[in-house]
Chains A and B, each alone.
Chain A
Amino acid sequence: KAGVTQTPRYLIKTRGQQVTLSCSPISGHRSVSWYQQTPGQGLQFLFEYFSETQRNKGNFPGRFSGRQFSNSRSEMNVSTLELGDSALYLCASSLEWGLTDTQYFGPGTRLTVL
Chain B
Amino acid sequence: KNEVEQSPQNLTAQEGEFITINCSYSVGISALHWLQQHPGGGIVSLFMLSSGKKKHGRLIATINIQEKHSSLHITASHPRDSAVYICAVTYNNNDMRFGAGTRLTVKP
Chain A residues near B (Cβ < 8 Å) = 33, 37, 42-45, 55-56, 58, 88, 90, 92, 98-105, 107-108, 110
Contact = CB atoms under 8 A, between A and B. Distances in A.
B94 A55 contact: yes
Interface of B: 30-31, 33, 35, 41-45, 48, 50, 86, 88, 90, 93-101
A103 B42 CA distance: 13
B95 A42 contact: no
Contacts of B99: 42
Contacts of B97: 45
Contacts of B98: 42-45
B93 A107 contact: no
The binding surface of chain A is classed by DSSP as strand
Contact of B31 (A33, A88, A99, A110): A99
A100 B90 contact: yes
Given A45-B98, A58-B95, A102-B45, 15 more contacts: A37-B41, A42-B98, A43-B86, A45-B95, A56-B94, A99-B30, A99-B93, A100-B30, A100-B31, A100-B90, A102-B33, A103-B35, A107-B42, A108-B41, A110-B41
A99 B35 CA distance: 14
A45 B42 CA distance: 16
Given A42-B100, A43-B86, A43-B88, A99 B41 contact: no
A111 to B, nearest CB: 12
8 contacts: A33-B96, A90-B41, A98-B94, A99-B94, A100-B48, A103-B33, A105-B45, A108-B41
Contacts of B33: 102-103
B97 to A, nearest CB: 7
